[in-house]
């Protein structure tokens, strides 16, 4: 007797894997868990996929193929917005998987992914240039990457909004981003928000915290040894344990230190302002400035929070939730016509755009990046 596999089984597996990776992080999900979510055994799952890396690769590829297909037929910036919004809603885990987990793929696949994304941006750029031929090429690319990042922000919402509503808001966000002009950028406060700090010798513990954030962001928690951490500050690997009991404790402490700075700088700027409009403007300047100085922290926060012990992870998640709520409430005070659903979508888009903008090359080397990000931020929030 021939046992036939149920139709669509591979699609079921990919859908479950995408959801599990998105919610828990690649490292926290086992093939057994994915198989249970589909209702099959782990050995049956391995008949479809050789292992977890291939499963992640196929999940990411599925979303990127949908993105490429949507952009291929887009002949206007409005059509670009519809395509980006449709993929953001229809493949909601994609943003998280590309920004957080795809770096765990084999090098050849990571390189292929970057090529695919560059091809997508090139396709978007061709459409944008046809409507705005006056734009310099660096501006075209920054606008297109920013539109992609803003839509990826939907991936970080804990609860998915109603699909049609989310698509409508994201289409507006993309249209606003692609309409931004950078003429005269660099003269605003965005660049003044990042003063050049004189190097100051820090205590060894603080040096380790800074080095840990950088290395965990660049290589991932599992790929950084205590020897590498020690070498980054001029000590031996075992000497790291004089300051921290474990690598996990060092990760937790490094993220705590960065959260403290973020709260002090940004929430302090907001609370010191005279009114909602001033608070929103001050908060944007403060966050852009913080992001430009602390791109490694933003990357480590994005990619390594799931590696924390459960109590530390809960604290990190609670901080992020409260921080986002502050911004949603503030935006609604400035724009009372935006309900909570729209405000949340826009705030998530805002942070995804800024966090990517300070880390993505070559745009993060622009001397006017601070002012560019402020203009994009206001457009995303609908307050420009």
What tens digit of pLDDT does each residue of 171-222 get?
999 999 999 999 866 644 554 444 444 445 568 888 888 888 889 888 888 8
Q: What pLDDT does residue 1 have?
A: 42
| The predicted structure's pLDDT at residue 107 | 86
The answer to whether the beta carbons of residues 262 and 290 sit under 8 Å apart is yes
What are the extents of the domains in the chain? 9-178, 189-339
Residue 43 neighbours by CB under 8 Å, 6+ apart: none
pLDDT of residue 192: 44
Q: What CATH code is assigned to 9-178? A: 1.10.357.10
**pLDDT 10s digits, 73-125:** 999 999 999 999 999 999 999 988 888 888 778 888 889 988 999 999 999 99
Tens of pLDDT, residue by residue over 318-367, are 999 999 999 999 999 999 999 999 999 999 999 999 999 998 878 888 89
Whole-prediction pTM value? Answer: 0.88
Same fold for the pair 9-178 and 189-339? yes
* Topology of domain 189-339, CATH: Tetracycline Repressor; domain 2 (1.10.357)
End-to-end alpha-carbon separation of the chain, Å?
A: 67
SS3 at position 290: helix
Residues 6+ apart with CB under 8 A from 84: 67, 70, 71, 147, 148, 151, 170, 174
pLDDT in the model for residue 6: 53
Residues 81, 128 contacting (CB under 8 angstroms): no
Give, as one character, the DSSP assignment of residue 264. I
pLDDT of residue 220: 82
Look up residue 170 and give its two tokens: 């994201």
The pLDDT tens digits of the residues spanning 239-285 come to 888 888 888 898 898 888 888 888 899 999 999 999 999 999 999 99
d(CA 12, CA 39): 10
Contact 154, 88 (CB under 8 A): yes
DSSP 8-state class, residue 223? G
Q: Report the alpha-carbon angle 337-343-344, nearest 5.
A: 160
* Length, in residues, of the chain: 384
| Residue 27 near residue 307 (C-beta atoms within 8 A) | yes
Instruction: Quick: pLDDT tens for 17-27.
Output: 999 998 888 88
What pLDDT does residue 28 have?
84
pLDDT of 202? 67
Distance CA 340, CA 330 (A): 11
Q: Where are the alpha helices (DSSP H) in the chain?
A: 9-24, 31-38, 42-46, 52-72, 77-90, 94-96, 107-131, 137-152, 163-178, 189-192, 204-219, 226-232, 247-262, 268-271, 276-293, 295-304, 310-334, 340-357, 369-381
- Give the per-residue pLDDT at 2: 45
Alpha-carbon gap, residue 370 to 357, rounded angstroms: 10
| Residue with the two structure tokens 């061709």 | 126
For residue 381, give the nearest of 284, 295, 289 by alpha carbon. 284
Say if residues 374 and 284 touch (Cβ distance below 8 Å): yes
Do 190 and 285 meet the contact criterion of CB atoms below 8 Å apart?
A: yes
């Amino acid at each position: 007797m021939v046992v036939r596999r149920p139709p669509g089984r591979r699609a079921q597996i990919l859908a479950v894997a995408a959801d599990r990776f998105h919610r828990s992080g690649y490292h926290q999900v086992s093939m057994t868990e994915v198989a249970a979510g589909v209702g099959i055994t782990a050995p049956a799952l391995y008949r479809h996929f050789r292992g977890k890396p291939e499963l992640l690769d196929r999940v990411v590829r599925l979303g990127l193929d949908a993105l490429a297909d949507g952009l291929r037929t887009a002949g206007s910036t409005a059509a670009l917005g519809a395509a980006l919004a449709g993929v953001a809603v229809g493949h909601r885990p994609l943003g998280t998987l590309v920004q957080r987990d795809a770096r765990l793929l084999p090098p050849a696949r990571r390189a292929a992914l970057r090529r695919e994304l560059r091809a997508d941006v090139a396709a978007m750029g061709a459409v944008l240039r046809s409507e705005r031929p006056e734009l310099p090429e660096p501006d075209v690319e920054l606008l297109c990457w920013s539109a992609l990042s803003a839509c990826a922000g939907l991936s970080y919402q804990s609860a998915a909004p109603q699909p049609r509503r989310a698509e409508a808001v994201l289409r507006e966000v993309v249209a606003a981003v692609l309409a931004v002009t950078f003429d005269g950028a660099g003269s605003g406060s965005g660049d003044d928000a990042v003063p050049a700090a004189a190097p100051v010798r820090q205590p060894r513990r603080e040096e380790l915290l800074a080095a840990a954030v950088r290395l965990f962001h660049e290589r991932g928690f599992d790929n950084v040894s205590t020897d590498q951490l020690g070498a980054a500050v001029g000590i031996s690997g075992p000497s790291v344990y004089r300051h921290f009991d474990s690598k996990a404790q060092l990760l937790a402490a490094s993220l705590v230190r960065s959260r403290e700075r973020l709260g002090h700088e940004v929430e302090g700027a907001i609370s010191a302002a005279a009114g909602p409009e001033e608070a929103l403007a001050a908060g944007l300047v403060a966050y852009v400035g913080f992001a430009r100085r602390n791109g490694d922290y933003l990357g480590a926060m994005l990619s390594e929070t799931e590696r924390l012990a459960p109590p530390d992870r809960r604290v990190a998640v609670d901080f992020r939730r409260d921080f986002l709520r502050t911004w949603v409430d503030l935006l609604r005070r400035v724009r009372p016509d935006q309900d909570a659903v729209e405000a949340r979508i826009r705030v998530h888009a805002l942070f995804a755009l800024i966090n990517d903008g300070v880390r993505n090359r070559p745009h993060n080397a622009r001397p006017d990046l601070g002012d560019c990000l402020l203009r994009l931020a206001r457009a995303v929030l609908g307050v420009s």
